[in-house]
């Protein structure tokens, strides 16, 4: 009996991790179906830290502008000053558990930073990088 209780506890403890993995892999398989891949954390990291030219506003912007260079610390919205919870799932297990949320913010933030939507390859790489932080 104790064994059964123990395995249930272990299973429950593992669930948020499973959920997050599944949202990320679910999105990545969609990107793959669109012709992208394979995805690497190195490419995602480079994309995350690069200053991108946003020709629509004539400015250089990057993802760290709001999320900061340290993924494990709080971020701050450059315009509103609102706090943003850490991006690293190791300190914020809610990260990347909801595919809808990920899609919504990719759309908004890519447009804000790059002046266009991110490609399937860029999104797959960024998720590969962020999900292991």
Instruction: Give contact residues for ligand HEC (rule: CB under 6 A).
Output: 63, 65-67, 77-79, 84-85, 95-96, 98, 101-102, 105-106, 109-110, 112-113, 126
| 84 close to 73: Cβ distance less than 8 angstroms | no
Nearest to ligand HEC of 7, 60 (CB atom)? 60
Least separation, in Å, of the C-beta of 11 and ligand HEC?
A: 23
CB of residue 33 vs ligand HEC: minimum separation in angstroms? 19
d(CA 9, CA 87): 27
Q: Closer to ligand HEC by CB, 59 or 77: give it.
A: 77
State both tokens at 41: 């954390």
**What's the min distance (Å) between Cβ of 34 and ligand HEC?**
17
Closer residue to ligand HEC in complex, CB, 6/51:
51
Q: How far is residue 99's CA from residue 125's CA, in Å, rounded to a whole number?
A: 15
22 vs 31: CA distance, rounded Å: 14
In whole angstroms, give the CA distance from residue 88 to residue 113.
20
């Amino acid at each position: 009996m104790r064994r059964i209780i123990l395995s249930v506890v272990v299973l429950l403890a593992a669930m948020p991790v499973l959920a997050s993995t599944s949202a990320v892999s679910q999105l990545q398989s969609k990107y793959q179906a669109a012709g992208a891949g394979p995805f690497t954390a190195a490419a995602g990291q480079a994309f995350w830290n690069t200053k991108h030219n946003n020709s629509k506003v004539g400015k250089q912007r990057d993802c760290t502008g709001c999320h900061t260079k340290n993924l494990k610390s709080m971020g701050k919205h450059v315009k509103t000053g609102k706090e943003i919870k850490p991006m690293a799932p190791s300190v914020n297990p809610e990260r990347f558990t909801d595919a809808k949320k990920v899609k919504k913010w990719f759309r908004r933030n890519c447009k804000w930073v790059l002046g266009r939507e991110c490609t399937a390859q860029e999104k797959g790489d960024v998720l590969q990088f962020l999900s292991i932080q």
